[in-house]
Amino acid sequence: MSRLYGLSPPSELTPNALKVLEKRYLKRDEANRVVETPQDLFLRVAENVASADRLYGKTEDEVEKTAEGFYKMMAGLEFLPNSPTLMNAGRELQQLSACFVLPVEDSIESIFETIKHTALIHKSGGGTGFSFSRLRPKNDVVKSTKGVSSGPVSFMTVYDAATEAIKQGGTRRGANMGILRVDHPDILEFITCKKGGDKLNNFNISVAVTESFMEAAEKGEEYDLINPRTGEVTGRLRADMVLNLMAEMTHQNGDPGLVFLDRVNRDNPTPELGPIESTNPCGEQPLLPYESCNLGSINLSKMVKDGNIDWERLREIVRRAVHFLDNVIDVNKYPLPIIETMTKGNRKIGLGVMGFADMLIKLGVPYDSQRGLEIGEAVMRFIQEESKAASEALAEERGVFPNYKGSIYDGVRKLRNATTTTVAPTGTLSIIANCSSGIEPIFALCYVRNVLSGQRLVEVHSLFEETAKKRGFYSSALMEKIALKGSLRGLGEVPEDVRRLFVTALDIDPEWHVRMQAAFQKHVDNAVSKTINLPHHATVEDVKKAFKLAYSLGCKGITIYRDGSREKQVLERGETSKLRSYIKPRSRPEKTYGVTYEIGTGCGSLYVTINEDERGEPFEVFARLGKAGGCASAQTEGLGRAASTILRSGIDPWEVVKHYKGISCDRPFRLGRNKVLSCADALGKALEKYLMEKSSSKEVKSLPETVPPWEGETTRAANGACPECGSPVVWVEGCRKCISNCGWSECE
């Protein structure tokens, strides 16, 4: 295709885009030297994907014309496919899909066969989702060995360890989604499995909640727990208590998210093939077992012309992008034959967007406004309609998807693809395209980058810089002030209309985040990846309100992240040195009230008293063995004093549970579920029981913050600093991402 090599090279790539392309996407030789330019990359992908047209009788000239169109929309940064396509198209690996769901059946053979398949997918650059809902609960019988099951969470740790050992194609760390139904007997263990932040770091987790559960939570009623092995009811829980616990854990560290499973399956296009049980790692792509999906995103910031949306250009790009994504299905090299069969049977594609926040800015519309919601819904409705028209045209030429008979479209509309739209996270793609991520608001207008030479460079959002210079209020001093503050709020030197237009993620009330997600979800086949960003001071009740609002507005799931809740290091900001604080315990009041638990241990009965402060939160612990005196009694008293000091210092009481539970000695007591390993283990379990009972009460109070925000420091610092450039890190779309767009991100 020599004609293609006369095309203009991409001209709008920023230094950060070039850096990301070089680091993650461009081909390298055996000596690890880059041997490809960005133009070469886009030509490679365009030629490879266009070659699928030959399967449908197109001439070489027609194939070349298709490739030219594909190249122009990628080089013009109007559309980009998901990362595996950019990385692998036209190369030996040729694995082009980003999203996979694998089944986990209730047998050791299935569990470890799926781990093997996961390794193959991660190696090729894909992410994986699993439902662990079919696994029998912890301590259930295993007939083949006469033993007991260790439960879903224990097997998740095995998957996590396998993921840690595999580097995705040399470019990305593996990412997983773990899902458990809310009616599984091990649901409480699952909800709390990531507390402390030291386990399952290669997993995002979500609870699959049903409509009946949400209704029971609203009414304060109980619901059944069902053993998936037998189908029998094994117990009951208060639904509002479980929802409260989910809110508390999400408040602590962002997990779990919620997936509204009944709603997902109402939109399952091929219900005769079975129910959908899981999604991909960021939650936007529900899939059947062994299905994969390839995604792509249109850069909406490129769809604005003279202050208005360029609908004709958007229509052209949508139709070309659907052609591109359908071709990817044919040229893709699948990790497993069964994945190829399922994927080609349904031919699902997921066309989404990025640069939406930039589009609104160019239109002069604030993100958190009714007009912003209306534009989001109108744009996605247009993309949905045009993508269906494009799929219909392909069906006329190439035929409907093989599993069309019995699908929701059977006899209604002939389509080439079972789904056409998904709003995915655009991580590094938005860096390449130099636009805002997905449908997220902008995260930072200005930020300070600490470079290796010790210099401090202030970098400014391009649209904000353009506006500031045009309006005459730009200055280096002001930009550095904005970078340190993290927002335009309260800056009188910035005109009010500019402050209103350039709102950042943490300026926006959580309700607007949820409403924007819901506006897009109305016209999306699959789901929408969106992080509901909460400020650091948000409460557990705020999290619960967001859960309920997402459900009531028709979202298919929800991911919430409270700023600073996954602290990894304290970031040095401004002219100050690293902040340090030495926590001092609060003084004990004259009176306290509490509860005492008796727990059997190998050293005798242990009496654990937990007293509350005036706010009704755990304040101190007294631990006493039934037999006074001796070394064991002294050590137990010491454990209680240590726990009291921790609690009186305002540290999260779950930290005590995490560190005390599991400590063992030479005198364990009892067997099975009620086994007590030591006095320390007993104390941890007593505090855990207390906290769980507190959660089940209707007047749930938020537990103390793990690390309070430092006075005078923006709370965004609590998310840590980028290990490559030192810029602040934000939590978005299931991943930690450097706001400087240097290319560093970490998906969990």
3-state secondary structure of 631: helix
Distance CA 37, CA 18 (A): 9
Query: CA geometry: angle at 295 spanning 291 and 297, to 5°?
Result: 165
DSSP assignment of 255-304 equals --EEEEHHHHHHT-S-GGG----EE-TTSS-EE-TT-EEEEEEEEGGGGE
> What angle do helix axes 540-552 and 211-219 make, rounded to 10 degrees?
130
Which two three-digit tokens encode residue 430? 């938005």
Catalytic residue among 99, 193, 282, 293: 282
Q: What are phi and psi of 730, to 5 degrees?
A: -120, 160
Distance CA 691, CA 287 (A): 36
Count CB neighbours of 434 within 10 A: 18
Distance CA 535, CA 251 (A): 11
Report CA torsion sign: 22, 23, 25, 30: positive
CB 376 within 8 A of CB 356: yes
Q: What are phi and psi of 338, to 5 degrees?
A: -65, -30
Distance CA 181, CA 209 (A): 6
Which two three-digit tokens encode residue 208? 């699959």
Question: Cα 228 vs. chain centroid, distance in angstroms?
Answer: 27
Query: CA geometry: angle at 548 spanning 545 and 554, to 5°?
Result: 135
CB 448 within 8 A of CB 462: no
DSSP assignment of 338-362 equals HHHHHHHHH--EEEEEE-HHHHHHH
Distance CA 142, CA 108 (A): 11
Catalytic residue among 47, 64, 78, 284: 284
Radius of gyration of the chain (CA): 27
CB 71 within 8 A of CB 111: no
Output b/e per residue, 225-259; b: 16+ Cβ within 10 A: bbbbeeeeeeeebbbbbbbbbbbbbbbbbbbbbbb
Q: Is 284 a catalytic residue?
A: yes
Q: Is 435 a catalytic residue?
A: no
Q: Tell the residue number behind the tokens 């009460």, with chain if given.
A: 697
Long-range contacts of 548-552 (CB under 8 A, 24+ apart): 548/214, 548/218, 549/511, 549/514, 549/515, 550/258, 550/260, 550/514, 550/517, 550/518, 551/214, 551/258, 551/260
DSSP assignment of 678-740 equals -HHHHHHHHHHHHHHHHHHSSS--PPPPSSPPPTTS-GGGGG-B-TTT--BEEEETTEEEETT
Count CB neighbours of 59 within 10 A: 10
Count CB neighbours of 364 within 10 A: 10
Q: Is 434 a catalytic residue?
A: no
Catalytic residues: 280, 282, 284
